[in-house]
Amino acid sequence: MQLTDKGLELLYFVEKSYNNLIIAERNMLETETLERGKLSIGMPSNIGSFFLFDKIMTL
C-alpha cells in the first residue's frame, strides 16, 4: 500500500496535530502536579527576609 500525494500531505498534518495533543497533555499534567508553573507567595518583607528566604534557598 502506498499513500497518494494528498494522503502524504494529510498524514503530515495529522502527525503534527497528534504531537501537539501529546505536548498539551504533558503540559497540563506538569502544571497539575506542580512540576511546572508559577508560585506567588505574599507576606511582609521582614518575615520573608528572616524566615522564608533561607528555606527557599535550600530547595
Q: Whole-angstrom Cα distance, residue 36 to residue 54? A: 22
Q: What is the pTM of this model?
A: 0.52
Q: Is 4 helix (H, G, I), strand (E, B) or coil?
A: coil
C-alpha cell, 12: 503530515
Q: What is the mean pLDDT of residues 35-53?
A: 72
Q: Does the pLDDT at position 59 exceed 70?
A: no
More confident residue, 6 or 57: 6
Whether residue 6 has pLDDT greater than 90: yes
Tell me how many degrees the CA angle 59-24-27 measures, rounded to the nearest 5. Answer: 5
pLDDT per residue as tens digits for the range 19-40: 999 999 988 888 777 676 676 7
Query: In the chain, where are the structural domains located?
Result: 5-58
Q: Which whole number is the average pLDDT over 4-33?
A: 90
